[in-house]
Structure 1
Amino acid sequence: MRLHEYQAKGVFAEAGIPTPASELARTVDEAVEAAEEIGYPVAIKAQVHVGGRGKAGGIKLVDDAEEAREAAEDIIGMDLKGYDVETVLVEEAVDFTNELYVGVTMDRGEGRPVAMVSKRGGVNIEEVAEEEPEAIAREHIDPAFGMHPFQARKVVYDAGIDGAVAGEVASILTTLYEMWDERDGSDIEINPLMVTEDDDVIAADAVFNVDGDALFRQPELAEMEEKAADNELEAKAQEYGFEGSNYVQLDGNVGIIGNGAGLVMGTLDLVDYYGGSPANFLDIGGGAKAERVANALDLVFSDEDVDSVVFNIFGGITRGDEVANGINEALDEFDEIPVPVIVRLAGTNAEEGMEILNTDLVQVESTLEDAVQAAVDAAEEVKA
């Protein structure tokens, strides 16, 4: 479960992490009134569960009431990456001299949590990790003992944080780890953690994702959980019966459909390996009939960010001919196929499925590697 920014900041503030003055608004008039009470300049920020809000027009800095009204009118009600913006956070603007990144997540390769600190705050930390990994300092933590004070100081020092604020940053990082541990977090971060001219350190953003399977232990956080109705894709996924772990929307452009969680995860990894970016995780399950396959394609086609689709089916309980019928039925509903569809079938009745597939509408590949490469290439061509 992912908390909204305003919810995460409330949790952070209760734990003693400094946050800017802010107020939630659901109408344009409420946003302007909140801005007047807080005092200009303020930031007006869409409250939706997506990253990159600023680049998509969901965050605006304003200096007076006229600008505040115009920004609120633009943001409230907008479609932001498939989410309808119903609320905005009106927040005191921070006059900063530096932007940092601090966070805690699980390093599954090491089997331990890892604390991370970087002077490259305010930008996409995933891009920094890929393009300049040395810019992120890391410290693995033994969960049996928790984060020792020296570990917090060490990772802050390794990141090259200025000595004037290093102690405060280490304290905030320690608090983040304690919240992550005590509240069953999966990811927790502040990006950016802003440093002012007076060497104050303020959380200008807040991300807190909680293990949904542990919410029974976290009643306060469970009350913050929202239904998927604020996202059209997730609402459609529920309508089609792709609930819970069957469908997860991601931020890439290669749609992925498969039968079995492991098969889908392997496909996601290959998309990433070949330089693509997955748009979703969609497991149609074993024994899926034609109607369920058609629904899966309709769901993925409904994502405006999808530039290609790779269909990876290994027949066991799920028969290749049933899958092929489902694909044909789904594609027949379109006057024009919205994006390239690449299909890989193997296993039970795969040969029959290959014969059934309308190859005028789909591209068929005999191996998963070839199918994924074709899907990544097709998505790149659409973007170009």
Structure 2
Amino acid sequence: MDLYEYQAREIFQQYGIAVPDAETADTAREARAAAERLGGRVIVKAQVKTGGRGKAGGVKLAADPPAAELTARQILGMDIKGHQVHKVMLARPAAIDAEYYISYVLDRAAGHFLAIASAEGGMDIEEVAATRPQAVARIPVDPRAGVSETTAAEIAAAAGLPPATAPVLHRLWRALTDEDALLVEVNPLVRTTGGDILALDGKVTLDDNARFRQARWGDRAGAHDDPLEAAAAAKGLNYVRLDGEVGIIGNGAGLVMSTLDVVAGCGARPANFLDIGGGASAQVMADALATVLDDPGVRSVLVNVFGGITACDSVADGIVTALDTVRLTKPLVVRLDGNNAARGRAILDARAHPLVQQATTMDAAARRAAVLATDVTAV
């Protein structure tokens, strides 16, 4: 479960990580009152569980309480990557001298955590990581050994961070382990002109498997802020919305994750993760297609199924029946492999839907779906 920034801030404070004075508001009038209490000049920040708020206009400086009220009115109700803003956080601005990036994240494949840190934090940290990977330190952390004060100092030195950031790295690790988190991130961690170290923004992802140990988040653990994710959950679908244009449906989490990677390698962005699991009945396929097609950002859909216990002809029957109940408005690329794949392809050929195409390999299907999503002339 992802936490909102203001909730991550609560955790940071609990573990002795300094943050600017801040308050939350659900209305523009509340934002004005909060700005008055905070001294007038504030940063107004949309509270949504997605990145890119600043570039989307969800983070703005307000010079005084009336401006804070007007800014909050503009931000509240905004749609940021499919997430509607229902709450804003108002924070006292900091005089920034330098920005850094620090995080701990679980590396499932390697079986340990990674400390990721850089002396170049801020909104463009992804670009820094992509264009100058040497500027980002990635240090494996054995969860049994953890991060001592000495280890924290070593991480800071490896990333070129000042020694004053080491206590934050140590406390952030304590927060990760005590709160059963999969990710804790501070971006940016700043040094102010007065020499203070402050966490200006934060992200925390908690492990849903540890809900029984984290009772204070229990009532919020099952909430879905994205309406498509909420609708999919109500239908029993394992759906996560992403920021892309190729809708993806597959059977099995591993296959779906691989499909996301292959689509990205073909120059397109996955629009979602949707795992239909072992069942591909007509109703499941109809629900899956309807969910993916409800995303206005989707420009093509890729169904990638490997037939095992559920045979490919049953999947094809489900797709054909679903096409009779769901209005297909975007091109659909289907790759069937495994048990009864030839029979499944024949069923789709016989249906001959003008927007349905087939491919025999995952690479070919991903390439075709990527082309259809990025080149309007290819449809």
Task: Say whether the fold is shared (TM-score over 0.5).
Answer: yes
Equivalent-residue separation in structure 1 for 2:244 and 2:132 (angstroms)? 21
Give aligned-pair identity as a percent.
45
Report the counterpart of residue 140 of structure 2 in structure 1: 140
Equivalent-residue separation in structure 1 for 2:127 and 2:331 (angstroms)? 27
Report the counterpart of residue 176 of structure 1 in structure 2: 172
Report the counterpart of residue 303 of structure 1 in structure 2: 295
Equivalent-residue separation in structure 1 for 2:7 and 2:200 (angstroms)? 13
**How far 1:280 sits from its partner (Å)?**
1.7
Find out whether 1:218 has 2:214 as its counterpart: yes
Find out whether 1:343 has 2:337 as its counterpart: no
Residues 127 and 253 (structure 1), Cα distance of their counterparts in 2 relative to 1, 3 Å cut: farther
Residues 124 and 343 (structure 1), Cα distance of their counterparts in 2 relative to 1, 3 Å cut: farther
- Compute the TM-score of the two structures, normalised by the length of structure 2: 0.92
- Measured against aligned partners, the alpha-carbon deviations of 1:306-365 in whole angstroms (never above 9, x if no partner) come to 23221101223333334334434444556661x332110123333333233235112211
- Measured against aligned partners, the alpha-carbon deviations of 1:184-236 in whole angstroms (never above 9, x if no partner) come to 110001001122111111111011111100111222333453522x3211111
Which of 362, 366, 371 is matched with 2:356 structurally? 362
Residues 51 and 64 (structure 1), Cα distance of their counterparts in 2 relative to 1, 3 Å cut: same
Residues 40 and 93 in structure 1, CA contact (< 8 A), matched pair in contact too: no
Residues 258 and 282 in structure 1, CA contact (< 8 A), matched pair in contact too: yes
Find out whether 1:193 has 2:193 as its counterpart: no
Equivalent-residue separation in structure 1 for 2:115 and 2:269 (angstroms)? 25
**How far 1:370 sits from its partner (Å)?**
0.5
Amino acid at match of 1:237: A
Find out whether 1:377 has 2:371 as its counterpart: yes
Find out whether 1:227 has 2:223 as its counterpart: yes
Please identify, of 66-75 and 179-188, the stretch whose mean Cα deviation from structure 2 is larger. 66-75
**How far 1:30 sits from its partner (Å)?**
0.4
Structure 2 residues not aligned, in runs of 5+: none
Report the counterpart of residue 69 of structure 2 in structure 1: 69
Equivalent-residue separation in structure 1 for 2:324 and 2:70 (angstroms)? 44
Residues 157 and 163 in structure 2, CA contact (< 8 A), matched pair in contact too: no
Equivalent-residue separation in structure 2 for 1:382 and 1:72 (angstroms)? 38
Report the counterpart of residue 91 of structure 1 in structure 2: 91
- Compute the TM-score of the two structures, normalised by the length of structure 1: 0.90
| Aligned pairs (5 A) from 1:213-292 | 213-225=209-221, 227-228=223-224, 230-242=225-237, 246-292=238-284
Report the counterpart of residue 32 of structure 1 in structure 2: 32
Equivalent-residue separation in structure 2 for 1:170 and 1:219 (angstroms)? 30
Amino acid at match of 1:354: R
Equivalent-residue separation in structure 1 for 2:122 and 2:374 (angstroms)? 27
Equivalent-residue separation in structure 1 for 2:191 and 2:376 (angstroms)? 41
Amino acid at match of 1:362: V
**How far 1:141 sits from its partner (Å)?**
1.8
**How far 1:271 sits from its partner (Å)?**
2.2
Residues 3 and 224 in structure 1, CA contact (< 8 A), matched pair in contact too: no
**How far 1:124 sits from its partner (Å)?**
4.5
Equivalent-residue separation in structure 1 for 2:371 and 2:33 (angstroms)? 49
Residues 363 and 105 (structure 1), Cα distance of their counterparts in 2 relative to 1, 3 Å cut: same
Residues 118 and 159 in structure 1, CA contact (< 8 A), matched pair in contact too: yes
Amino acid at match of 1:371: A
Amino acid at match of 2:226: N
Residues 383 and 44 (structure 1), Cα distance of their counterparts in 2 relative to 1, 3 Å cut: farther
Residues 287 and 319 in structure 1, CA contact (< 8 A), matched pair in contact too: no
Please identify, of 268-277 and 5-14, the stretch whose mean Cα deviation from structure 2 is larger. 268-277
Please identify, of 219-228 and 70-79, the stretch whose mean Cα deviation from structure 2 is larger. 219-228
**How far 1:178 sits from its partner (Å)?**
1.3
Give the count of matched residue pairs. Answer: 375
Equivalent-residue separation in structure 1 for 2:94 and 2:85 (angstroms)? 24
- Measured against aligned partners, the alpha-carbon deviations of 1:285-314 in whole angstroms (never above 9, x if no partner) come to 223211210110111111223232211012
Report the counterpart of residue 48 of structure 2 in structure 1: 48
Equivalent-residue separation in structure 1 for 2:336 and 2:124 (angstroms)? 36
Report the counterpart of residue 20 of structure 2 in structure 1: 20
SS of aligned partner of 1:51:
coil
Report the counterpart of residue 111 of structure 1 in structure 2: 111
Residues 380 and 128 (structure 1), Cα distance of their counterparts in 2 relative to 1, 3 Å cut: farther
- Measured against aligned partners, the alpha-carbon deviations of 1:94-133 in whole angstroms (never above 9, x if no partner) come to 2212211011112334322121211221125344323221
Residues 289 and 326 in structure 2, CA contact (< 8 A), matched pair in contact too: no
Equivalent-residue separation in structure 1 for 2:309 and 2:40 (angstroms)? 62
